Amino acid sequence: MTLDDLDHAILRALSANADQSTTQLAQKMGLSQPATWRRIRRLQDSGVIAGRRLVLDAEKVGFGVTVFLGVKLATKGRVSLEDFERAVGAIPEVQTVDHVLGLYDYRLRVVARDLADFERVLRRRIMTMPGVGDVEANVLLSEERRPGPI
Amino acid sequence: MLDDLDRRLLRLLQADPARSVPDLADATGLTAARVTRRIDRMRNDRIIQGSHAVINWTALGYAVSVSLRITLDKTVSRAFDDFIAAARAVPEVIEIQTFLGRVDVRLSLIAKDLPDYQRIYREQVLPLPHIADIEALMTVGSVKSDESLPL
């Protein structure tokens, strides 16, 4: 889908802050409220805006540790990828699962209350998955999301 | 501190940040005024920091997504700061994370296609300062991406 400058501006504004109302956004863009609404609808309908995400302070709600895990499957071919994906995706502490190509087969983002809690999740839930081989853990220290090329 | 009702509200809002106050009141059995008070308190305490639109980069023509795992030359004292400042200037970088572990920094990079990725990698990533080693993981598919917390 082709976007013009105003679409880009709307996308930038909403990806920074989706709490603002269409009226507020229209004012910023110098557009009418219905025109802004139509553009947002078009961005949603075409799938460019895939949804809206609440931003919580993970630490303040009790999740002090975030770990990125690289997981290599030990017995490729014998273990079904679908089974692994379904099982790992069902673990509540696992926030994201990406199937990747390279040194690892999967990249997971895992949250835990603290390092002891992370160890429990890793040992009891992740290492016990069928076919899990090498696992590399990197503890998140800081994170920043960038607006991207829009 | 959060009580069970706060957590319940956060769970509902995590699933749908656009959910209205009357709707939240119905789901929790609280009055609308109480829901508003609790949400306002969590916003003031910066527990709820806001919300943002999730962009589907594939729908915008960015078919390639790569996770770059970078080790920095730690003999340089400003390696992290210099590297991150320079990485921010690459528009296709959508996430920057620093770690304790084998990897120092991770960049999430998007590109239109493989030639575009190769161009960005050569012209904008490799010249970033103080890189000791880079490994690339190319995303083949996203299995789970909701990023919600198990409240």
A107·B95 Cβ contact <8 A: no
Q: Is residue A59 part of a domain?
A: no
Closest CA to B136 of B150, B145, B125, B127: B125
B51·A52 Cβ contact <8 A: yes
**3-class DSSP state of B103:** coil
Q: Is residue A88 part of a domain?
A: yes
Distance separating alpha carbons of residues A8 and A14, to the nearest angstrom: 10
Check the CA dihedral A45-B52-A8-B113 and report its sign: negative
Same domain, B101 and B30: no
Same domain, B87 and B130: yes
Same domain, A83 and A134: yes
β-pairing verdict for B93-100 and A65-73:
unpaired
B137·A101 Cβ contact <8 A: yes
Is A78's pLDDT higher than 80?
A: no
Same domain, B40 and B69: no
Is B75's pLDDT higher than 90?
A: yes
Task: Dump pLDDT digits (tens) for A21-62.
Answer: 999 999 999 999 999 999 999 999 999 999 999 999 999 999
In which domain, by residue range, is A17 found?
A: 5-45
If you average pLDDT over residues B87-99, what whole number do you get? 97
Q: Is residue A80 part of a domain?
A: yes
Number of domains in chain B: 2
- Helix (H) or strand (E) run with residue B23 in it: helix B21-28
B93: closest chain A residue by CA: A148
If you average pLDDT over residues A119-143, what whole number do you get? 93
Interface confidence, given as ipTM, is 0.91
Q: Is residue A144 part of a domain?
A: no
pTM of the model: 0.92
CATH number of residue B21's parent domain = 1.10.10.10
Q: Is residue B150 part of a domain?
A: no
